[in-house]
Amino acid sequence: MSPISAVLRRELRSYFVTPVAYVFLVIFLVLAGILTFYAGDFYARGQADLQPFFVMHPWLYLILVPAITMRMWAEEAKGGTLELLLTLPVTLWQALLGKFLAAWLFIGLALGLTFPIWFTVNYLGSPDNGVILAGYLGSWLMAGTFVAIGSCLSALTRSQVIAFILTALVCVLLILVGQPQVLEFFQGTLPRKLINAVAHLSMLRHFGSIARGVLDVRDMLYFLLSIVGWLVAGVLLLDLKRTR
Partner 1 sequence: MIETDQLTRCYGHLTAVDALSIRAEPGQVLGLLGPNGAGKSTAMRMIAGFLAPTSGTARVCGHDVRREPLKAKRALGYLPEGAPSYGELTVREFLQFIVRMRRLKPDVGYRRVDEVVHLLQLDDVLEQCIDTLSKGLRRRVGLAQAILHDPPVLMLDEPTDGLDPNQKHAVRRLIDTMARERTILISTHLLEEVHALCNRVVIIAHGTLMADATPAELEAQSRYHGAVSFSAPGSGVSQEMLGRLPQVAAIEVDPLDGRITVFPKPGMRILEPVQTLLHEQGLEVSEIQLERGRLDEVFRQITTGTADIA
> Can you give the binding site for partner 1, defined by CB under 8 A?
1-3, 5-7, 9-10, 13-14, 17-18, 79-84, 86-91, 242-244
Instruction: Tell me the C-alpha distance between 158 and 173, whole Å.
Output: 23
Nearer to partner 1 among residue 35 and residue 68 (C-beta): 68
C-beta closer to partner 1: residue 14 or 209: 14
Looking at the Cβ atoms of 15 and 230, the one nearer to partner 1 is 15
Q: 46 phi and psi, to 5 degrees?
A: 70, 25
Find the Cα–Cα–Cα–Cα dihedral 200, 211, 108, 59, rounded to 10°.
70
Of 15 and 118, the one with the shorter C-beta distance to partner 1 is 15
Nearest distance from residue 98's CB to partner 1, in Å? Answer: 10
Q: How far is the CB of 73 from partner 1 (least distance, A)?
A: 14
Residue 60, Cβ density class (10 Å: 0-12 exposed, 13-18 middle, ≥19 buried): buried
Which is closer to partner 1, CB of 71 or CB of 206? 71
| Nearest Cα residue to 68 out of 109, 116, 113 | 109
For residues 221 and 240, which CB has a smaller minimum distance to partner 1 in the complex? 240
Residues in the chain: 244
Cβ proximity to partner 1: between 1 and 217 the closer is: 1
- Tell me how far, at minimum, the Cβ of 175 lies from partner 1, in Å: 33
State the minimum distance, in angstroms, from the CB of residue 243 to partner 1: 4
Min dist CB 93 to partner 1, Å, is 12
Q: How far is the CB of 79 from partner 1 (least distance, A)?
A: 6
Distances, alpha carbon 197 to alpha carbons 150, 158, 183, 223, 228, in Å: 23, 34, 11, 16, 19
How far is Cα 234 from Cα 111, in angstroms, rounded to an integer? Answer: 25
How many whole angstroms separate alpha carbon 152 and alpha carbon 163?
9
Task: Name the minimum Å distance from CB 21 to partner 1.
Answer: 12
C-alpha–C-alpha distance, residues 96 and 72, integer Å: 9
Q: Look at phi and psi of residue 120 and say left if phi exceeds 0, alpha if psi is from -120 to 50, else beta.
A: alpha
Tell me how far apart the alpha carbons of residues 59 and 36 are, in angstroms, rounded to a whole number. 12
